Structure 1
């Protein structure tokens, strides 16, 4: 598994992480198989969130991991908090502290390697967040911190009040969600791809050594479904299959390789619980697409160059 530097540190993390959003749909033995498949492929980074399966995903993970032979120190375990489903976003100190305690209990852990704030809270008080982070770190409950779906100004605002460096920003990025790179190639134009919806965060991350974590790497829309083997995207699947045949892997591996080919050292979140899909996706970390192959996929996904 390809390894990348985590944020501004010298610590090494895998270029892929296993997202456990769908683990609530699995039995404990099935969850163990998924975790082991990822670990055997070099994916020892786990990404969760307190809202996944209303907490059930973390409960299943906790039960599965406890029964496995894996050592805690050999896994990097991350969770997210801040969404109160259907009601509000909540970055209050009280909510953050309470959520972490509940996460640790569900996952049967003493500490999280990383805590990520899940989507921006319009009522965020950066100084209050800073107090929560300091308290969690001092108590040994969280080692590192990050955010999810923050734009550049939101990220800088929070960072200005923290004593810790933010390591991560989780952002949607895939062959069917390319806004973070479209606008740069359509600079100074009036067409739809020229609109910057992400406040140039990918370039900011490269300048300031922030690890971008790409979520939904095989999805189109937000949660509409996967573009892999989807009849609605014939040209893209034709190109994926062509390269998959050449590299002797599956389509997931090629779609993953496309994300990891970007020089920003992106970490990709694999959300599948299918051991075969996990193994195939992991193969993408070993593939270095040529520039032409990368652009051929970009164009096959329905994008165009000015």
Structure 2
């Protein structure tokens, strides 16, 4: 994605008033205006959506912002995702990246977003029943109609991207993966080759290398680790990567990492959010963190992330990694 501004992306999942199925309220639109302004204030110009966020209300809230301020559309980039079907009465949640589903979902997103096109469309998760040729046909139809400019993916491995790229005439633009100081499989896999710990890491080795070799932009969802290291105690998620005994930010590796983040923030005169994101930005893969909070104060707290990442020393970067993993590197 060609963007000369901030490397940060604003994730719009928190817009729309939550994941209830009720109607969009005026307060939800007002909150969307405030969040968008906070993102624009720190130089963000790329806004990330998905058709399922808040059951479509996130896109609808953003669409109301664009309807109120149409001049914004030509100064920002929009991307959205399709391919996940949420559970409904009598219907299990599943994936659908069939030709008809991609085209139909994208057209619905365009209506909600109050725009004629999105800059990038991402396939949200791999669909085992969707042939690559069918995905390519859907993208070609949308691109020729002027409704989508680029195609990307989310949560795909290097080999899955290679499989899909073989059916495409245009290069894949981006791959959005969960990447943070807390969710580190993408990093652990790079150093645990030929090591017993490597069997416990599920991230497909070679994915980052594929993206780098083919100029596929890496986007990191969950980049702030749900505030785990920036002042918000968070219970470990299922399958968390921490060493035995890790808990919330009160102790264990989480506590040690939060303390180190706070120390670095004090030393550098910045926010803890800037340190957490700066750690991702310091990696040479040119990762673009997706800032998922809709709290305007926390959005603005990310303002110095690129500066902090550029100035972060090798020792500081490794110290944060070792603290988060809770044990020495092999």
Normalised by the size of structure 1, how large is the TM-score?
A: 0.92
In 2, the alpha carbon distance for the partners of 1:213 and 1:109 equals 23
In 2, the alpha carbon distance for the partners of 1:193 and 1:271 equals 30
- Give 2:13's aligned residue: 21
- Give 2:321's aligned residue: 298
- Where do 5+ consecutive residues of structure 2 fail to align? 18-26, 88-92, 234-248
In 2, the alpha carbon distance for the partners of 1:195 and 1:97 equals 35
1:116-195 aligned within 5 A: 116-192=122-198, 195=201
In 1, the alpha carbon distance for the partners of 2:3 and 2:182 equals 31
The question of whether the paired residues in 2 share the 8 Å contact of 1:117 and 1:148 is answered with yes
* Equivalent residue in structure 1 for 2:283, among 253, 262, 273: 262
Cα distance, 1:286 vs. partner?
1.5
- Give 2:74's aligned residue: 73
- Give 2:23's aligned residue: none
In 2, the alpha carbon distance for the partners of 1:253 and 1:195 equals 27
SS at match of 2:164: helix
The question of whether the paired residues in 2 share the 8 Å contact of 1:144 and 1:167 is answered with yes
In 2, the alpha carbon distance for the partners of 1:199 and 1:148 equals 16
1:1-306 aligned within 5 A: 6=1, 12=4, 14-25=6-17, 27-68=28-69, 70-86=71-87, 87-192=93-198, 195=201, 197-219=203-225, 226-229=228-231, 230=233, 231-232=249-250, 233-287=254-308, 288=310, 289-303=312-326, 304-306=328-330
Cα distance, 1:70 vs. partner?
4.2
SS at match of 2:55: helix
The question of whether the paired residues in 2 share the 8 Å contact of 1:175 and 1:255 is answered with yes
Relative contact order higher in (CA < 8 Å, ≥ 6 apart): 1
The question of whether the paired residues in 2 share the 8 Å contact of 1:260 and 1:285 is answered with yes
In the TM superposition, what whole-angstrom CA distance separates every residue of 1:155-201 from its partner, at most 9, and x where no partner exists? Answer: 11110001111010010110111111112222211125774522321
In 2, the alpha carbon distance for the partners of 1:152 and 1:275 equals 35
SS at match of 2:325: coil
Normalised by the size of structure 2, how large is the TM-score?
A: 0.85
- Give 2:239's aligned residue: none
SS at match of 1:282: coil
The question of whether the paired residues in 2 share the 8 Å contact of 1:81 and 1:117 is answered with yes
SS at match of 1:268: strand
- Give 1:3's aligned residue: none
The question of whether the paired residues in 2 share the 8 Å contact of 1:152 and 1:204 is answered with yes
In the TM superposition, what whole-angstrom CA distance separates every residue of 1:59-94 from its partner, at most 9, and x where no partner exists? Answer: 111112221364311100000000001331011110
In 2, the alpha carbon distance for the partners of 1:81 and 1:275 equals 27
* Number of equivalences: 294
The question of whether the paired residues in 2 share the 8 Å contact of 1:61 and 1:107 is answered with yes
SS at match of 1:281: coil
In 2, the alpha carbon distance for the partners of 1:149 and 1:135 equals 24
RMSD: 1.7
- Where do 5+ consecutive residues of structure 1 fail to align? 1-5
The question of whether the paired residues in 2 share the 8 Å contact of 1:18 and 1:38 is answered with yes
